[in-house]
């Protein structure tokens, strides 16, 4: 089925048919979603290395992940943790989509997966080897294990998908950009099916040290489950997370021809740049507002059509206020009718993977009519005055949702999703 953009160009409708998640509160979409509804925090003391000398000693780690569930032992040793997480989430998404790989035209199937930092654990380990044992001991797999595009490359190799295949790298907007790009590839007819989303595994000594030096993270070490508190007056920084969120997108025609179960629809997306500062958002969330307006325009809907906003909501002072101001700017009086939340209050900030796992939360919200809470929102910041679903699940029908992702460097991306309706929305 063909629709038309505001510029008159035809586009194919894009639907979601599969999802996979590896998160700090669950290693499948259903366990992750159950954890969100339960208000369960994934934060705790970092277990993977000694953090005794760090000002921040907490993070949201993926627990009980077995790399051998997605790769043979020899292969797993040749992959970074981020790549293994991407493969794990892709495996669930492909199973969820009930894809028959033997009947797909794999030249019409592609992969776009975002990551903000990529194989930093490999980089740190191999640099340590270089410094202590010399260049001859550096692994021949160092470069392919480290480079960011290998999350997409390995998923493509695993499934034999020969269509568009690349990575997006835009800090915390990486997977939102990946999803937006993948949808547009399908819209313009360059592929029938895309695996997309994001993966990140940055809970490493150097990464933690860098964010600590930037004073960007919470130091609530004695009470980690209370540390991520978006929009709360007493927030003191974000909590780092890791994981992967992967979706299967298809053209509506392709999905219907194979009898797929349709979980939702991608209506459109918007992007913008702040051109303001390397880490701080533009004042009043000006760039974020332009991203949301572009997404609404691309989707062919009005601001008043939106029911729900899954915010970037990082638990940082400037970020939370600027996003609130941006939402007010875009939605005006309708802001009072919106329901919003921050998934990061429970899973922490998955950096380049955030957009993928958060869009999955949007799809589940539309499916169930349940809006998960923003936990730890005990004393609302007066400057953050929207309905951020504090501490308790809200129930209401959600037809159209937007997911915001904003990254260091002034990268802004907004994805608009909707409950699937055969005759279309907008």
Q: Please tell me the number of Cα atoms within 13 Å of 208 on its side-chain side.
A: 28
Among the listed residues 349, 372, 384, 411, the single catalytic one is 349
pLDDT in tens, 25-77: 999 999 999 999 999 999 999 999 999 999 999 999 999 999 999 999 999 99
Looking at residue 8, its pLDDT comes to: 55
The secondary structure of 23-35 as a DSSP string is: BTTBSSHHHHHHH
- Residue 91 annotated to the active site: no
Looking at residue 9, its pLDDT comes to: 59
pLDDT in tens, 302-349: 999 999 999 999 999 999 999 999 999 999 999 999 999 999 999 999
Whole-number Å distance between alpha carbons of 211 and 209? 6
Task: Give how far Cα 47 sits from Cα of 44, 50, 244, 351, Å.
Answer: 8, 8, 19, 19
Looking at residue 7, its pLDDT comes to: 46
List of E strands, 87-161: 109-114
What is the number of other CB atoms lying within 10 angstroms of the CB of residue 91?
Answer: 18
Would the pTM count as exceeding 0.85? yes
pLDDT in tens, 175-219: 999 999 999 999 999 999 999 999 999 999 999 999 999 999 999
- Domains of the chain, earliest start first: 2-415 (3.40.47.10)
pLDDT in tens, 96-138: 999 999 999 999 999 999 999 999 999 999 999 999 999 999 9
Looking at residue 10, its pLDDT comes to: 76
pLDDT in tens, 392-413: 999 999 999 999 999 999 999 9
- Residue 12 annotated to the active site: no
Looking at residue 241, its pLDDT comes to: 98
Cβ atoms of residues 295 and 269 within 8 Å: yes
Among the listed residues 12, 312, 328, 372, the single catalytic one is 312
- Residue 177 annotated to the active site: no
Among the listed residues 172, 212, 322, 362, the single catalytic one is 172
């Amino acid at each position: 089925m063909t629709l038309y953009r505001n510029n008159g160009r035809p586009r194919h409708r894009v639907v979601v048919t599969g999802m996979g998640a590896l998160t700090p509160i669950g290693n499948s979409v259903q366990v992750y979603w159950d954890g969100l509804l339960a208000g369960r925090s994934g934060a705790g003391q970092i277990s993977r290395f000694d953090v005794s000398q760090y000002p921040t000693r907490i993070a949201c780690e993926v627990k009980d992940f077995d790399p051998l569930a997605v790769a043979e032992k020899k292969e797993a040793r040749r992959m970074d943790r981020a790549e293994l997480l991407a493969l794990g989430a892709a495996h669930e998404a492909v199973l969820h989509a009930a894809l028959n790989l033997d009947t797909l035209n794999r030249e019409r199937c592609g992969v776009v997966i975002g990551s903000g930092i990529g194989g930093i654990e490999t980089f740190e380990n191999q640099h340590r080897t270089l410094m202590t044992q010399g260049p001859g001991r550096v692994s021949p797999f160092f470069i392919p294990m480290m480079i960011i595009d290998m999350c997409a490359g390995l998923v493509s190799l695993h499934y034999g998908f020969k269509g568009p295949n690349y990575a997006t790298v835009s800090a915390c907007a990486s997977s939102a950009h990946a999803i937006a790009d993948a949808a547009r590839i399908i819209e313009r007819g360059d592929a029938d099916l895309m695996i997309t989303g994001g993966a990140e595994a940055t809970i490493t000594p150097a990464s933690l040290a860098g964010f600590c030096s930037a004073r960007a993270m919470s130091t609530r070490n004695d009470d980690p489950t209370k540390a991520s508190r978006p929009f709360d007056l007493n927030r003191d920084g974000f909590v780092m997370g890791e994981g992967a969120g992967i979706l299967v997108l298809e053209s509506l025609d392709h999905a219907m021809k194979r009898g797929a179960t349709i979980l939702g629809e991608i209506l459109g997306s918007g992007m913008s740049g702040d051109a303001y500062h390397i880490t701080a958002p533009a004042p009043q969330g000006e760039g974020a507002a332009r991203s949301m307006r572009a997404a609404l325009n691309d989707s062919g809907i009005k601001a008043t059509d939106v029911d729900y906003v899954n915010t970037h909501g990082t638990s940082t002072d400037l970020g939370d206020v600027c996003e609130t101001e941006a939402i007010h700017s875009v939605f005006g009086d309708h802001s009072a009718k919106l329901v919003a939340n921050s998934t990061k209050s429970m899973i922490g900030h998955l950096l380049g993977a955030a957009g993928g796992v958060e869009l999955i939360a949007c799809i589940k919200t539309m499916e169930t009519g349940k809006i998960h809470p923003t936990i730890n929102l005990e004393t609302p910041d007066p400057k953050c005055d929207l309905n951020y679903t504090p501490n308790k699940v809200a129930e209401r029908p959600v037809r159209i949702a937007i997911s915001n992702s904003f990254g260091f460097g002034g990268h802004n991306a907004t994805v608009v999703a909707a409950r699937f309706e055969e005759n279309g929305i907008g």
